[in-house]
Amino acid sequence: MLFLGLDVGTTRCKAALFDEGGNSLGSASREYGYRSVVSGWAEQDPEEVWEAVLAVLLEVLRGAPQKPVALSVSAQGEAVIFLDEAGKVLRPAILGMDMRAQKESAELEAHFGKEWLLQTAGVPVHPLTSAAKILWVRHHEPDIFRRSRKILCYEDFLFLRLGGIPVIDHSMACKTMLFDRNAKRWSTEILAYLGLTEENLASCVPSGTVIGKIKADLASILGLSEDLKLVAGGHDQCCAALGAGSTQETIAFDNAGTAEVFGIPVTDKAVVLRIHPLTFSCYSHVLPGKFLLATLNQTAGLFLRWYRDTLGKCLVEREKDRDPYAVLMERVSPKPASVLALPHLVGSGTPWIDAASKAAFVGMTLATGEGDILRAILEGVVFEQKISVDLFEAQGITFEEIRVTGGCSRSPLWLQIRADIFGKAVKTLEYEDASVLGAAILAAVGEGVYASPEEAAKEMVRVKSVFEPQEENHRIYQEKFPLYRELYFALREIHHQMV
């Protein structure tokens, strides 16, 4: 049997075919854009995304040895799509990274309380949440709000187009901050405050649930069987965790791309309320009965990209026929850096969530060279993550290994630095696009080939390489980390006074 995994991200969608053993039999991807007409805004045309989805499905199915039996979706979170009675898109989708709803976020926090919202939805109150964005539309575009019959995210929007039924899984529903993770239904209190009813939203089901079949006319266009099952998927980070084989608390996953999410599957959802500050997510997982305890830092690969485009620009241009990141990595110091780098290029992520914080290099002297600065960048990103993870471990949430996905997983040096700083084994995967594999795993579970996502992951996920901590470097980083931990506080007042 073959299964289709579909991953719809912020700027790219990908479809891939897998067999029961997790072997990929082909994939296709397409990029699409977004626009920012006002600083801090990020909007996208859902119709452009839908056309890209159709294109990747057509391409990946063109050479398929047989027709897949089930399809599931991994989707970007928080994006909001407003549809009228006929299912027509009323305005561009407001993307997850859009920050326009700061006043609305503060309004929700003032009305419900930070702790109540975190306890209910499992995500901290923030302008990024769908709830804040919907409230912004109600305040600023009342006609759009009034005409909206359905307000969807990308998972339920795609299921509406594919099968005519708008269905969202619990993990995606949590990311909207409209869902009650305890009662497993839309929050009546939050919906009432926003002026919505459950009829305005998609139906909620657990991940891996068969929700229907593909439309007959669409099956004909795509060359699919009309019996193709549509299976509830999940938030892309949850699907990435599943596709990395992070199905138990002892295995953490680190999705390190431009930004970075570090997550651990837990059964105790109340742990997030015991971690202070209350800035972490602990929302319904695609794994039954589990929750994803997760960090979020906006600067991971972005820090190295910044160096490439500024301080390293001349070097990269001189060797323009080579991969620019390979050029930079060759120049990284082989030893731990003598300087510290604070990676707050777009403010800090967890645990501080401080939009006014800024990046900094500290401790430079005349002896500081390019290799030291590059090494400090790589170390700073990992140190930043360790601050959050140490807060998890203080609550008894421990792990033995880290599965790394995303662009940063392609750098052996950066992977070794992760192992050395955390003092844990770091592993990479044979199939790197873990979110699309995670979606395919859920499709296989929906078809009944496997009894659970955990069982499916054991058969469909394979480790590629392992990086063990180097004892001497780990010792040096243990000595260095307490200094890094004080860096944010030492510079906070200065950064807050800078424009």
pLDDT of 223-282, one tens digit each? 999 999 999 999 999 999 999 999 999 999 999 988 899 999 999 999 999 999 999 999
Work out the angle at residue 80's Cα, subtended by the Cα atoms of residues 261 and 286, and round it to the nearest 5 degrees.
45
Note whether residue 481 is domain-resident.
no
- Provide the pLDDT for residue 320: 84
pLDDT digits (tens, 9 = 90+) for 344-382: 998 999 999 998 999 999 999 999 999 999 999 999 999
For the residues 457-484, what does the mean pLDDT come to? 98
**pTM of the entire structure?**
0.94
User: What pLDDT, on a 0 to 100 scale, did the predictor assign at position 258?
Assistant: 87
Check residue 298 and give its pLDDT: 86
Rg (CA), the chain: 22
Amino acid at 71: L
Q: Per the domain annotation, does 121 fall within a domain?
A: yes
Q: Is residue 291 part of a domain?
A: no
Enter the tokens of residue 354: 């401080």
Task: State the residue range of the domain holding 58.
Answer: 2-236
Helices (H) and strands (E) in the chain, counts: 19, 23
% of the chain at pLDDT higher than 70: 100
Q: What pLDDT digit, counting tens, does each position of 80-96 carry?
A: 999 999 999 999 999 99
Structure-token pair, residue 168: 């969202």
Euclidean distance between CA atoms 44 and 96, whole angstroms: 11
Give per-residue pLDDT as tens, 285-295.
999 999 999 99
Q: Is residue 459 part of a domain?
A: no
Tokens of 420: 């050395």
pLDDT at 499: 76
The CA distances from residue 295 to 286, 326, 479, in Å, are 17, 28, 24
Kindly tell me if the per-residue pLDDT of 63 is higher than 90.
Answer: no
CB 64 within 8 A of CB 26: yes
Task: Give the integer Cα–Cα distance in Å for 328 and 320.
Answer: 12
Q: Which two tokens stand for residue 40?
A: 């801090």
Alpha-carbon distance 386 to 492, whole Å? 19
318 in any annotated domain: no
Q: How many domains does the chain have?
A: 1
Residues 6 or more apart whose CB falls under 8 angstroms from that of 267 comprise 249, 289, 290, 291
pLDDT bucket at 423, cuts 50 / 70 / 90? very high
pLDDT at res. 390 = 97
The set of residues, in sequence order, having a beta carbon less than 8 Å from that of 140 and lying 6+ positions away, is: none
Asked whether the beta carbons of 20 and 444 are under 8 A apart, the reply is: yes
* 77 backbone dihedrals φ, ψ, rounded to 5°: -95, 165
Tokens of 337: 């850096």
> Is residue 342 over pLDDT 80?
yes
What integer best gives the mean pLDDT of the chain?
Answer: 96
Helix (H) or strand (E) holding 464: strand 463-467
Q: Report the range of poorest mean pLDDT among 39-43, 332-336, 338-342.
A: 39-43
d(CA 197, CA 430): 44
Give the model's confidence band at 429: pLDDT under 50 very low, under 70 low, under 90 confident, else very high. Answer: very high
CATH number for position 16:
3.30.420.40
d(CA 122, CA 293): 9
Looking at the chain, the whole-number percentage of residues with pLDDT higher than 90 is 94
Dihedral pair phi/psi, residue 75, rounded to 5°? -135, 150
Position 494 confidence tier, pLDDT thresholds 50, 70, 90: very high
pLDDT of residue 418: 98
Structural domain includes residue 209: yes
Report if residue 429 sits inside a domain: no
pLDDT confidence of 40, banded at 50, 70, 90?
confident
- Rounded distance, CA 251 to CA 241, Å? 10
Question: Is 256 part of a structural domain of the chain?
Answer: no
Q: What is the pLDDT of residue 355?
A: 85
Q: Which H or E run includes 211?
A: strand 210-213
